[in-house]
Amino acid sequence: MSMALLRALNFTRRCVSTNIDSRIPARHIHGRIEEAAYFGSVRAMTKRDIREVQQLYLEAAKRSRSAGFDIVNIHGAEIGAVPVQFLMNVHNSRTDEYGGSLSNRARFWMETLEIVKEEVGDELAVAARFCVDSLHGTDAGIRVAEEGVGFIELANHLVDFWDLQVGGENVELWIKDAGPARFYKENFQAEWVRQVRPHTDKPIVGVGRFTSPDTMLEAVTSGQLDIIGAARPSISDPFLPKKIEEGRFEDIRECIGCNACVSRVNLRWTLLCTQNATAGEEYKRGWHPENYSPASNREASVLIVGAGSAGLECALVLGKRGFKNVHVVEAEPEIGGHLRWVSTIPGMSTWRRVIDWRQGQIDKLPQVAVITNSQLSASDILDYGADIVVIANGSVWDRSGLNGFSHAAVTGWESAPVYTPEDILADERSIDHERVVVFDIEGYFMGVSIAEVLARRGHRVSLVTPHMEPGPYMRMTGESVHMRPLLEELGVELLMEQMVTEAAPDEVIIEHGFNHTVRAIGAAATVMTTQRIPSTALWDSVEQAVASAPEESRPQLFRIGDCVSPRMLVADAIFDGHRLAREIDSEDPAVPLPYIRERRVARDRHDMGHILEPAPR
């Protein structure tokens, strides 16, 4: 997408969202503060303001044309832009010709499309990205059978194709569009988009978490869509269309729908992807998602101990870089590390793709061998004779309740009925107590998932967390809007801003973080989801054995993934394995090579206004 077009889209969002950057009240349909403004100040647009804003759309379209782009898209998705908010009663309370009836509320968008179409229509395709149903609980939102179909009929002659989606309305419901796999099946937007089809003869682009070529084919052949929109799947695999065209379905790095990418965008951090370690790194590190340079030390033999996500990624990239002898040795009967049992959590089966895709790609590399059910000691590893040894044996959940809030373990854990997530999910151990306390400090999916699993098994569950909400990181991935109601529906007691301070054989003591009131939960077992501990014993013993070995027989020794430090996001552990393999022939592979920082840096030389240019590449 062109920067000119991005300027147009971003301007529309700034009009409605915040004034954090400019510190000047943003122009909006009306002058009242609302949830979509993120507490920023706004002022009602005059008709002069309306003309100025429309002119900005026009200028952005001109820049898109001069930049050589083929399409300009007038954005009105997820209820995050001015055109679609003009269309909605909940936002538009104007009494002039821009408010009231549907035709009046559509006027701003129609006029904007008209001036853009007149200017670039013979040279660029003009599209409109439109939220055809906001999924709002009242008549104040957009309904596909009313405003949705109504606006399409009004504006159909002004667009070359429609770019449709559903969901938006407020800060929470954006996720109804970018739905995570845990709560949204593929093509979940079909029921709304199909209602639009009879009302337009123009091509329709649609979204809805399309990851399978079969699902895409069905959506097109059924007439629901003419073009598949697949943003997250294309982050996971930028060559998705090409692989479909060539029939290489097994090579598609299929999106798992975890929304780790969405979470980083929400936090205004660098984009990443669980499946694609190169996402966001293409410019910074010069990594191509499919191309690998031959390693200068590819004649060296490599032993990777641990076939979790980091170890498998490292082995795959080493194989792609031309290493002729790579062995991955796993102590368990199956590969995959903790993702084997994480993917058994309700709604998280797609996470298994992390393992399956890497296994399928490694199977195509005869020089990479995976050996399971083989526990290696330090002496075994040294005797293996590999030139390069990579330890990737992961981490385990701490049983004591050690955490970063109290910086201590839970008192009495040694003699109390205490469990870990591995006990519940990997070993499928049953808990004798009817009442179970889940003590969650991790703050992502594990604590709430254990609570869900145990509630479904029939236990009375209390989720105790010092956070202000259950699984706060799930707000970034868009899962919290569904996860919290699910826990409440299952009868899970939610005890926020509280800590488990003591576990005893017959009770669990919790303390409120602010008023320090203490209460006891009787006859309860405790599941600790406070933090994971890196499995360092093997590394320590191997490091010592290597140091004691004759210099000529010492292998290069590295470690990657969660055995270095447990990562909240699987994407970061995979990145660790990928990075080492990409840089295995550098001067010191243990130390990441410098990368290009994408943001300009302000520094004080003689005055605060001096801006340094980025360093040469």
The tens digit of pLDDT for each residue in 486-502 reads: 999 999 999 999 999 99
pLDDT tens across 225-243, in order?
Answer: 999 999 999 999 999 999 9
Q: Residue 480 corresponds to which tokens in the numbers above?
A: 């919290």
Residue 600, pLDDT score: 54
The answer to whether residues 11 and 56 touch, using CB atoms and an 8 Å cutoff, is yes
Question: Worst-scoring range by mean pLDDT, 266-275, 302-311, 334-343, 561-570?
Answer: 266-275
Residue 36, pLDDT score: 53
DSSP per-residue letters across 198-258: GG--S-EEE-S----HHHHHHHHHTTS-SEE--HHHHHH-TTHHHHHHTT-GGG-------
For residues 21 and 597, the model is more confident at 597
Q: Is residue 535 over pLDDT 90?
A: yes
Closest among 282, 287, 263 to 274, alpha carbons compared: 263
Ordered domains of the chain (ranges, CATH): 3-229 (3.20.20.70), 397-533 (3.50.50.60)
pTM of the entire predicted model: 0.90
Residue 137, pLDDT score: 63
Cβ-Cβ contacts under 8 Å for 10 (sequence gap 6 or more): none
Enter the DSSP assignment of 390. Answer: E
DSSP per-residue letters across 33-63: --GGGTT--EEE--HHHHHHHHHHHHHHHHH
Closest among 546, 54, 65 to 305, alpha carbons compared: 546
Q: Put residue 322 in one of left, alpha, beta given phi > 0 → left and psi -120 to 50 → alpha.
A: left
Model confidence band, residue 605 (pLDDT cutoffs 50, 70, 90):
very low
Residue 617, pLDDT score: 36
Q: Indicate the Cα dihedral angle 595, 600, 605, 607, nearest 10°.
A: -170
The answer to whether residues 315 and 368 touch, using CB atoms and an 8 Å cutoff, is yes
Distances (CA, A) of 394 to 31, 307, 573, 606: 54, 9, 9, 49
Q: Is residue 609 over pLDDT 70?
A: no
pLDDT tens across 287-338, in order?
Answer: 999 999 999 999 999 999 999 999 999 999 999 999 999 999 999 999 999 9
Q: Residue 122 corresponds to which tokens in the numbers above?
A: 């013979």
Q: Is residue 87 over pLDDT 60?
A: yes
The answer to whether residues 177 and 143 touch, using CB atoms and an 8 Å cutoff, is no
The answer to whether residues 326 and 318 touch, using CB atoms and an 8 Å cutoff, is yes
Side by side, the strands of the sheet bearing 71-76 are 71-76, 125-133, 161-166, 204-206, 227-228
Enter the DSSP assignment of 144. Answer: I
Residue 31, pLDDT score: 78
Q: By three-state DSSP, how is residue 308 classified?
A: coil
Q: Indicate the Cα dihedral angle 598, 19, 1, 53, nearest 10°.
A: -150
Model confidence band, residue 10 (pLDDT cutoffs 50, 70, 90):
very low
